[in-house]
Amino acid sequence: MTATTILRILCVIGIIFDVVLLARGVHKQKQTPEGKAEWDKQKKYWKWNSFMVGLVPNFFDALGIGAFAPQSALIKLRKSCDDINIPGTINVGNTPAVLVEAILFFGLVSIDPVTLISMLVAATLGSLIGAKIVTRWNRTAVRYGMGIALIGLGLIMACKQAQIGPFGVTGTALSLHGTKLIAAVVCNFILGALMSLGVGLYAPCMALVALLGMNVKAAFPIMMGSCAYLMAFGNAPVFIKQARYDMVASIGDSIFGCVGVLLAYFVVRSLPLSILTWMVIFVVLFTAVLFLRDARKDTLARRAGQHVKEYPEESMAS
């Protein structure tokens, strides 16, 4: 049995594992009056969160744009999910779709198994730590974190589009050794941790791969595999356990996100994405400003002695 086959089997296990976890988590929440009330509130946005937040971004995710940035923007602009639950929602909801992507893209190029597996494990471990930190944050902290993270991601996406910095580098290597391998593992660990805040791993990982002199095609199995495992076995279970996700949105994204990935892979394959990507970058940066604006309002209100709702339980009780 080859390493690629084993990795694909792990993806199937991951899909089953997280679907079961999500189903149990939703069932547990709905057993309480607060959870039932939250479910009824979340149902109002199920169409938007299933199609516009789930299907569309994952369609473009499979084409290499990334889903987290546009999803965060679409949720924030429509206010279809509580800000404090956005990181958990996009991680939990996207897990099945990204696992499907990994199944499809493993084997795209023959990457050295040690290099690939080392980077996948590093990202997964990073996400475990990141999720445990983010689930302790209040709403204001999440808003500040999302705002700063989206600004960074938007700038990285802009550099990628303009081929600035490492994105202009082309390499041929399909394996890493010594210092380069250590650097790749450490960097992917950090990127895995940042995923728990909703910072997409695709663009930074692509820059990392290029900077280390690897074949740019190697970025696809590395970044998609990293996201698949870190979400399935890293942060998604933590977010579900802590109930820091939108139940209805996560279910809709889990289903329609997979549909978007399969449409992109089997039907479309490629599109002229340059103009669309620049539009996404603009929207992401604008959304970052909205997060920071709301966080600033929370801070000023608190300084003025006003009560600020910081956790979902407060919203349900009000």
List pLDDT tens digits, range 93-131: 999 999 999 998 887 778 888 999 999 999 999 998 888
* Other C-beta atoms lying within 10 Å of the C-beta of residue 305: 6
Domain ranges (residues) in the chain:
3-317
Q: Which pLDDT score is estimated for 262? A: 93
Residue 248 identity: V
Find all residues with CB under 8 Å of 267, minimum gap 6, and list them.
none
- Tokens representing residue 307 in the block: 């009560």
Cross-strand bridge partners of residue 214? 173
Confidence of residue 256 (pLDDT cuts 50, 70, 90): very high
Query: With 90 as the cut, is the pLDDT of residue 313 above it?
Result: no
The one-character DSSP state at 64 is T
Identify the CA nearest to 103 among candidates 209, 10, 26.
10
In the predicted model, is pLDDT for residue 316 greater than 60? no
What backbone phi and psi angles, to 5 degrees, belong to 67? -105, -30
Q: Over the stretch 171-222, which tens digit does the pLDDT of each residue have?
A: 788 889 999 999 999 989 988 888 887 777 777 887 788 778 888 778 788 8
Q: Is the pLDDT of residue 314 over 60?
A: no
Residues 223 and 201 sit within 8 Å (Cβ to Cβ):
yes
- Other residues' Cβ atoms within 10 Å of the Cβ of residue 192: 31
Instruction: Name the band, by pLDDT with cuts 50, 70 and 90, for residue 318.
Output: very low
Q: Whole-model pTM above 0.85?
A: no
Higher pLDDT, 302 or 124: 124
| Token pair in block for residue 80 | 């279809």
Tokens at 211, concatenated? 């900077």
